[in-house]
Structure 1
Amino acid sequence: MTSSPARMPRTRRMPREARRKQLLLAAHQVFVAHGYHGAAMDEIAEVAEVSKPVLYQHFPGKRELYIALLDVHLEEFTGLLQAAINSTSKNKQRVTATIRAYYEFISRDSQAFRLIFESDLMNDPEIGARLEEFNSTFASSIAGVIADDTGLGRAQSLLLGRAMAGMAQVSARYWLDLSDEVPMEEASELVARLAWRGIGRFPMES
């Protein structure tokens, strides 16, 4: 985990939506630094420089705050991946763009990926369902492209979609420890080449 989060600049009155974003930013810093179980609403309020009653006006508890923050990051990551998939009609470039999107998200200074892939609430049914929906949606998007191009069945295409998503995720998280030795562009390109060597061998559907 990272060091203790920095306090945000003090603010007074602000619109409700702006205040909510401020609280989510403070919560993000605390959750990334300490994990869900190590985080406290007291510290989140302190980092945001608001009173606890103000914090509870927006979020009834720590779990609800965590879920709201997770939803923000999942929506952001989903948009990034979908944009990569839709960025071209050429599948080799599509594979490269999609894997690059994983690396870009995981390399961000915000470390938002920790809330998605390293959550200490994986066994929570509601949070687990959100994470599974994210993984399923992304794998299905990849599977649709694979099925259209190769003629493989839905189950086979979904299996390949999950495999590609897993390859991107695991390799990108491992790459963080090697980022001083292997630039992100090179790392994502290497993994994209590996993925394409597999997917590209399936015959194209005429």
Structure 2
Amino acid sequence: MKIRDRLLMAAERQFAERGALDATLAQIREAAGASVGALYHHFPDKADLYRQVWERALADYQQHFWAVIGDSADAREGVTAGVREHLRWIAENQYRAQVLISARPPGVRESDSNREFMRNVARWWRMHAGYGAVRDLSLDLVYALWLGPAQEYSRQWLSGDMLASPSVVADELADAAWSTLSASRTTGNS
């Protein structure tokens, strides 16, 4: 594994376990088995390292999330698969998930990869709203209703306040998201 990748992985774990403020570059460098020069060759400072760790975690999450909704057969499958994938990813990527629930570094929202992801999700949603499968809502509200409960469960689980793994509650939260976002919810149809 390349030294840059080792540094990113070590930083991810240190930031997840200690927090961005308390993790030190010395701890990260030591955990990666890297020299001071190697660390500063790849990352000019801790803020840049944190931003890159955060962006890497977000890109991985978005890739997995988009794979399941982008390939879904219909709106219901996409909505429920998105929730299940969110919870699966959290359970299997606890360090990355911990980083993502921490403070977002400046500029990430404006990155090209994040904008592309958001455009894809918005296009997918509008397509299904266009033929009446899901409610025609702003993407901000869709996001809160779709993933808000799963994210809150994830936060509580990562902090140790929820004992049941996210996979145990995935079906219930996926069904709840569909019930909330389905267009039939507003018309009374099932």
Q: TM-score range by the shorter chain?
A: 0.7 to 0.9
Q: Map of 1:124-163 to 2, 5 A cutoff?
A: 124-127=105-108, 129=110, 133=114, 137=118, 140=122, 143-150=125-132, 156-158=137-139, 159-163=141-145
Instruction: Tell me which of 29, 42, 53 is aligned to 2:13.
Output: 29
Give the AA of the match of 1:163.
L
Q: Give the Cα–Cα distance (whole angstroms) in 2 for the partners of residues 21 and 37 of structure 1.
A: 21
Q: Does 1:167 align with 2:130?
A: no
The 3-state SS of whatever aligns with 1:125 is coil
For 2:80, the aligned partner's letter is: T
Match of 1:199 among 181, 184, 187: 181
Post-superposition offset of 1:65? 1.0
Q: Could you tell me how far apart the structure 1 residues matched to 2:161 and 2:124 are?
A: 27
Is the Cα contact below 8 Å between 2:146 and 2:181 reproduced in 1?
no
One-letter code of the match for 1:68? Q
Q: How far, CA to CA, are the matches of 1:190 and 1:129 in structure 2?
A: 33
What TM-score do you get using the length of structure 2 for normalisation? 0.78
Please, which of 109, 115, 132 is the counterpart of residue 99 of structure 2?
115
CA contact (8 A) 2:4 2:42 kept: yes
CA distance in 2, matches of 1:169, 1:29: 20
Partner Cα separation in structure 2 for residue 114 and residue 185 of structure 1: 17
Q: Which has the higher contact order (CA 8 A, sep 6+)?
A: 2
Q: Indicate the percent of aligned positions where both proteins have the same amino acid.
A: 25
1:168: how far off?
2.6
Q: Could you tell me how far 1:151 is from its partner in structure 2?
A: 7.9
- Work out the number of aligned pairs and report it: 179
Does residue 45 in structure 1 map to residue 26 in structure 2?
Answer: no
Q: Displacement, 1:74? A: 1.0
Amino acid at match of 1:41: L
Stretches of structure 2 lacking an aligned partner (at least 5 in a row): none
Give the superposition deviation at 1:198.
2.1
Per-residue deviation at 1:29?
1.6
- Cα distance change of structure 1 residues 184 and 96 upon mapping to structure 2, 3 Å threshold: same
Q: Would the alpha carbon gap of residues 152 and 25 (structure 1) be closer, same or farther in structure 2, given more than 3 Å must change?
A: closer
2:70 and 2:79 map into 1 onto residues whose CA distance is: 11
Where structure 1 has 5 or more consecutive residues not aligned to the other structure, the ranges are 1-13
In 2: Cα distance, 1:161 partner to 1:150 partner = 18
Query: What is the TM-score normalised by the length of structure 1?
Result: 0.73
Q: Is the CA contact (8 Å cut-off) linking 1:139 and 1:161 kept in structure 2?
A: no
Amino acid of the structure 1 residue aligned with 2:87: Y
In the TM superposition, residue 163 of structure 1 has moved relative to its aligned partner by 2.3
